[in-house]
Structure 1
Amino acid sequence: MNNVALSTALFNNGLTCGACYEIQCDSQQDPKWCHPGSIIVTATNFCPPNPALPSDKGGWCNPPREHFDLSMPAFLRIGEYIAGIIPVSYRRVPCTKQGGIRFEISGFKYWTHVLVYNVGGAGDVREVAIKGSRASNWEPMQRNWGQIWQTGNDYSGQSLSFRVTTSDGRTVNSIDAVPVNWQYGQTFEGKQFS
């Protein structure tokens, strides 16, 4: 999987985390450094700005620049190493993922964080709700950062269900995705968008 860090302009305060893009080197702007073809990447990180440097000399992630900070293996599939930075064209594409949505649980009895990842379809999550096996209603979770969602309620000793809604308005319910005997630091798999 090709993960990518996005500049401020693309990351949108973490709202775009999980989205997928098709990227190719723009050979019309700079044919010398481009390889043919494209790659699909998933936005997983933030590329912080460096206001001490100009955006064309090291401050690649400075606003308002749209920049994809690729791993070296991903970069080498579309451009020459010596170029360092290349012009690209890109577009949002649906995310195709193996297996179900992942729910990584961390925290403590009085606060729980859930990292939601491996999301198909739109990829970026707009809302998450949680329901313990002793509850009758879904509780909306609050976004902490990126795709980390939090609650202040104690769900220990309960199986957990999650309702995930992506930016395109589609929703999937993962009922009892987490068993009663779960512990912090574990990751569980739920349903996936088709």
Structure 2
Amino acid sequence: MAANATTWVFISMVKLLSLCFIFGRVAGSQSNDMWRPAHATFYGDMNGTETMQGACGYGDLFKQGYGLETTALSTALFNDGLTCGACFQIRCYNDRQWCLNETIVVTATNFCPPNYSKPEENWCNPPLRHFDLSQPMFRKIAIYEAGIVPVIYMRVPCVKTGGIMFEIKGNQWWLMVLVYNVAGAGDVVDVKIKGSSTDWIQMSRNWGQNWQTSAILTGQSLSFQVTTSDGRMVESDDVAPADWTFGGVYEGKQF
């Protein structure tokens, strides 16, 4: 009887472990499924002339390397500008009439503002997740006449050409730097600046991906540390020479 009891306990433990293994695999597969539901519309024309500028602080999206592969985000995704520069993979989903069999990758460069006076009509009102794409990007995943389509999306690494770009603005007493063309996570969460005669100086976010400091750094070469939302940091030493100018754009290292 003791031997039989031991055998029964052993078999039960094996069954329990097997069930735990199976459940773990299922739970793991679900946790790794990063696709989420949302909706998408479009703005602008086929030339993308209305996609320029925006709430992230970027300027000429063509010169800055973003082109037409851009999107504005609803409040739920924009996160007060913290998501600027992040990249998303998007495809039309579960609408046979309007969906096209295509997947796009776009960079967040703008904000789709809510309209609380029209709670039933404005897809950018919280808590809705919504992408307002450039028209050429929308027409890659859906038929133009649809106007709005259900989509699924996930965050993906940004692939950029060249190094991180730093556009210096401001004046002698106040420095603002637009940080763009960031690969990897794409969304910058911290920037530090260093003059050739200073230690590292913490910059604060002004708006979008514009970062500021009141340190006087004219006449010094400038270095930058850029940290993205995944915790990675890249340091670019002596990016701007000592004779840098306001309005100048300087290229650093890349993730």
Return the TM-score normalized by structure 2.
Answer: 0.72
Structure 1 residue 54: Cα displacement: 2.5
Superimposed CA distance per residue, residues 53-107 of structure 1 (whole angstroms, 9 cap, x where no aligned partner): 224x2x1211111111100001000011111111110000000100000111111
| Residue identity in the other structure for 2:104 | I
Q: What amino acid sits opposite 1:84 in the alignment?
A: G
2-side partners of 1:188 and 1:113: how far apart?
13
Aligned to 2:118: 53
Match of 1:88? 151
Query: Could you tell me how far apart the structure 2 residues matched to 1:31 and 1:178 are?
Result: 52
> Which of the pair is proportionally richer in helix?
2
Counterpart residue number, 1:126: 189
In structure 2, the partner of 1:7 is 74
Gaps of 5+ in 1: none
User: In 1, distance between residues paired with 2:144 and 2:222?
Assistant: 46
Query: Within 1, Cα distance between the matches of 2:201 and 2:160?
Result: 27
Structure 2 residue 219 is the aligned partner of structure 1 residue 157: yes
SS at match of 1:11: helix
Distance 2:112 2:240 in 1: 32
| Aligned partner of 1:143 among 205, 208, 222 | 205
* Bigger-Rg structure (1/2): 2
Distance in structure 1 (CA, Å) of the matches to 2:109 and 2:175: 21
* Paired position in structure 2 for 1:174: 236
What is the aligned-residue RMSD (CA, Å)?
0.9
Aligned partners of 1:114, 1:69: CA distance in 2, in Å?
27
Which 4+ stretches in 1 moved above 3 angstroms? none
1:184 maps to 2:249: no
- 1:74 equivalent to 2:137? Answer yes
**Alignment pair present for 1:112 and 2:175:** yes
Find the aligned partners of 1:4 and 1:176 in 2 and give their Cα distance: 33
Q: Report the Cα distance in structure 2 between the residues aligned to 1:138 and 1:105, rounded to whole angstroms.
A: 17
Match for 2:106 among 35, 41, 44? 41
Letter in 2 for 1:92: R
The aligned length equals 188
Shift of residue 47, structure 1, vs aligned partner: 1.1
Hey, what's the Cα distance between the residues in 1 that align with 2:75 and 2:167? Answer: 25
SS at match of 2:79: helix
